[in-house]
Amino acid sequence: MVAALLAVSVVATIIAWTAGSPKKPLQAVRGVIASDDNEFFSDPRVRAAFATRGLELKLTTVVNAQIAATAHRSKSDFAFGAWIPDVQQIVSARSAKTSFVPFFTPMAVATSTDIAQVLERAGVAHDHGGWWTLDMKGFLDLVARHVRWNQLAGNAAYSATNVVRITSTDVTTESSAEAYASIASYVANQDRVLGSVSSVDQVVNQVSSLFLEQNHRDQSTEVLFHDYLSRREGPTAMVMISEAQFVARAAARDGSIGPNMVLMYPSPDVLSKYTLVPLSAAGDTVGRLLTDDPSLRQLAVEHGFRITSKPKVFGSFVEQGKLAVQPKVPDVVAPPTEDILRALMTRIDAALHVALGPLPGSTASVE
């Protein structure tokens, strides 16, 4: 009897000690990410998934163009970017030998069925049962000729002052503008990726016109997409975004994606490949978890991303949600290398500065 009571007492003591013992502290892992990626990493479910594996991510968020420089001067465990030229900078700056590409997303144009149908009648858009493709060669020709929406639609409701255009972000900071310029430069260069800095001269005038029509939109992709969701872009809205942004909101069923809103895929297109460059052993662990952990893969899909190693996960997700997206992205081209793309964007920015003047709030230097 005494032995039995003693055993119960010991068990109770163990249970009490376990319940009252402090949790093992999480290992802090520091990373530099692009502002476009913050929504995924700030998701409480993502943070909890890392916490269950003993990790707490401490993140510095910057615009895409600053990822490499920030990672280079900071004591980060990893750098995470979605745009290939930015990743090239990170790898070269830190002499990284390995990297992880856990997920990716094609670039796309968020627009309306009405606009898609107008472009279809013009012969540059094609309906595939709810998702569309946009012939970029034909579209760039419309832009080069300064065609206006009311000319295409034959409808006075489309303002005569609104030219056919796609709205993207600021050319100096955001990857959406770089993706648009990469696609346009490929088409303008006779379906060839720009192969040298000198080749920029041959296409810069045509590519610059795409951004000139936007009248200096100094905004992030998130702001542009929010304006699109809020119907602030008017009847001619065409916004360059990532497919993932649209898919995540459509899957959420929160009413922000209306029945008249559709995705249009540029043809050719470019991919945003979400790449983690480990800068320490802890960063390597984060990369492996994002790539191999089933729960994190599922959360990435719910944020609209396509999974590199398990493409069927995304396919099942959009099929169950009855989301109209391109099943595969066959017509994909590579962007120019980092130095060539920087030269192109610098030339575009200079052309905009000459045509439109400095951005509001900027200060001109005096020699």
3-state secondary structure of 134: strand
- What pLDDT is attached to residue 223? 80
Handedness of CA 130, 225, 248, 109 (dihedral sign): positive
- What pLDDT is attached to residue 12? 40
Confidence of residue 78 (pLDDT cuts 50, 70, 90): very high
71-80, 208-217, 326-335: lowest mean pLDDT where?
Answer: 208-217
Which H or E element spans position 135? strand 132-135
3-state secondary structure of 267: strand
Q: Is the pLDDT of residue 181 over 90?
A: yes
Residue 123 to residue 102: CA distance in whole angstroms: 37
- What pLDDT is attached to residue 159? 60
Confidence of residue 1 (pLDDT cuts 50, 70, 90): very low
Q: Is the pLDDT of residue 95 over 70?
A: no
Q: Which two tokens stand for residue 260?
A: 């008249």
Q: Which residue bears the tokens 């639609």?
A: 153
**Architecture in CATH of 106-271+332-356:** 3-Layer(aba) Sandwich (3.40)
Q: Is the pLDDT of residue 119 over 60?
A: yes
Q: Is the pLDDT of residue 65 over 80?
A: no
Tens-digit pLDDT profile for residues 5-57: 434 444 343 333 333 444 679 999 999 998 778 889 999 999 999 999 999 99
Q: Which CATH number fits domain 26-105+272-320: 3.40.190.10, 3.20.20.150, 3.50.50.100, 3.30.300.10?
A: 3.40.190.10
Cα-based angle 194, 199, 204 (whole degrees, multiple of 5): 90
85-89, 121-125, 157-161, 205-209: lowest mean pLDDT where?
Answer: 157-161
Per the CB < 8 A criterion, the answer to whether 114 and 209 are in contact is no
Tens-digit pLDDT profile for residues 195-251: 999 999 999 999 998 888 775 555 677 788 888 888 766 656 899 999 999 999 999
Q: Is the pLDDT of residue 162 over 90?
A: no
Where along the chain do the CATH 3.40.190.10 domains lie? 26-105+272-320
